[in-house]
Amino acid sequence: MPKNENMLAVLWMLNSGVKMTAKQISEKLEINIRTVYRYIDALCASGVPIISDAGHNGGYSLLNNFIRAPLLFDMEEKKALLYASVFAKETGYPLSEALGNATSKLKMYSNQEQENILGRYLAGFEVINRRVDPSIQPILLELEQAVVNEISVEIDYLTSHEEQPKNRVIDPYGTVYWNNKWYTVAFCHLRNEIRSFRAERIVQIKRTQNQFKRPEAFSAREFFMRNLLPDLVGKDGLISLIIGGRSEALDDLCLHWFLGHHLKERTSNQAIFLIEEESIHRYVPHLLLSYGKSIQVIEPQSLKEKLVAVASELMEYYQL
């Protein structure tokens, strides 16, 4: 029997729960007792928790449930892991190759019937996402290592309002995936504050020799969402935005990442939002125009006038 098969046989013998001596193993496998000792040493070196007891009732045994606990998955767990891998790959997840290897192992340790069932599930399950530039993956890997090892990185970062990238040193606290884009939340030494940086706008990145200490219990997700959608409780300058229309269109508006955060009340034919007046006039008109006649602004009057102005500007632009 080949070496690998013998080592696997030793592993399954010990997993039976019965303590066995080297002599018993050698006799069962018909191999030299010194070879058994080498196999035991190799298994221990690879991380298998083998317990060795000396004395009259001594022998080798395996830590309870070593194989049963993390190494075997039922069909629902396998299906969930394969589905998760499809989602992760579509987001531009940087460890795509490692992810592929992991899911291949799941299939490898499934029998033919299980593999066929998993194949049928995957054939009927697909995710459509914005195409992610492959060049972002090395950047995400560098950010990941910087977060784990708490090492500052130097980046050339291009903002939306600048023509040339600006060099800065940041301490990455965490990585966030939101709305089809990857971000890192980091302390910026240039601005001397914690900020969010879009990964695809990082032109170059390199590690420094500097280390940092991430604040205890810091959540990159909470910081990101708090800055994206600040708490409006007790804030002045809020006015009601009342929109009527078709139920499907109103449902869609209420699920929008920005308007949904400001939803105050929803009835069968109306949605009421509480928003800052400046935001209503700056962002909301362009958002609502795409809904055409499926919705109608009831209040405020100033938003109706703004919608007319924006629509008129578009007409003039396309009539040129």
Q: Are 7 and 42 in contact (CB under 8 A)?
A: yes
What pLDDT is stored for residue 150 in this prediction? 96
> What percent of the chain shows pLDDT beyond 70?
94
What pLDDT is stored for residue 53 in this prediction? 85
Neighbours of 118 (CB within 10 A): 19
Structure tokens, 5? 């098969």
Domains along the sequence of the chain with CATH: 3-68 (1.10.10.10), 73-123 (no CATH), 146-227 (2.30.30), 238-319 (3.30.70)
pLDDT-wise least confident of 121-130, 146-155, 166-175, 297-306: 121-130
pLDDT-wise least confident of 2-6, 113-117, 154-158: 2-6
Query: Which of 169 and 16 is assigned the larger pLDDT?
Result: 169
What pLDDT is stored for residue 74 in this prediction? 75
What pLDDT is stored for residue 137 in this prediction? 87
Sign of CA dihedral 283, 286, 291, 295: positive
pLDDT band, very low/low/confident/very high, at 223 (cuts 50, 70, 90):
very high
Query: Which of 272 and 160 is assigned the larger pLDDT?
Result: 272
> Distance between CA atoms of 228 and 313, rounded to whole angstroms?
29
Q: Determine the distance from the C-alpha atom of residue 187 to the mean position of all C-alpha atoms in its chain, rounded to a whole number.
A: 21
Structure tokens, 97? 């190759």
pLDDT band, very low/low/confident/very high, at 203 (cuts 50, 70, 90):
very high
> What percent of the chain shows pLDDT beyond 90?
45
Neighbours of 142 (CB within 10 A): 21
Across the chain, how many H-helices and E-strands are there? 13, 11
What pLDDT is stored for residue 2 in this prediction? 67
Q: What is the pLDDT of residues 73-117, one digit of tens each?
A: 778 888 888 888 888 888 888 777 787 777 877 776 677 777 888
Neighbours of 73 (CB within 10 A): 14
Neighbours of 131 (CB within 10 A): 9
Q: Determine the distance from the C-alpha atom of residue 298 to the mean position of all C-alpha atoms in its chain, rounded to a whole number.
A: 40
pLDDT-wise least confident of 12-21, 156-165, 202-211, 221-230: 12-21
> Distance between CA atoms of 209 and 295, rounded to whole angstroms?
56
Q: Which residues is 272 bridged to in the sheet?
A: 242, 265
Which is nearest to 219 in space by CA: 242, 251, 196? 196
For residue 264, is pLDDT > 60? yes
pLDDT band, very low/low/confident/very high, at 269 (cuts 50, 70, 90):
very high
Mean pLDDT of 41-67: 78
DSSP 20: B
Q: Are 38 and 32 in contact (CB under 8 A)?
A: no
**In sequence order, what DSSP letters do the residues of 56-124 get, joined into one string?**
TT-EEEE-TTTTHHHH---HHHHHHHHHHHHHHHHTT-TTHHHHHHHHHHHHHTS-HHHHHHHHHHHHT
Check: pTM over 0.85? Answer yes or no. Answer: no
For residue 69, is pLDDT > 50? no
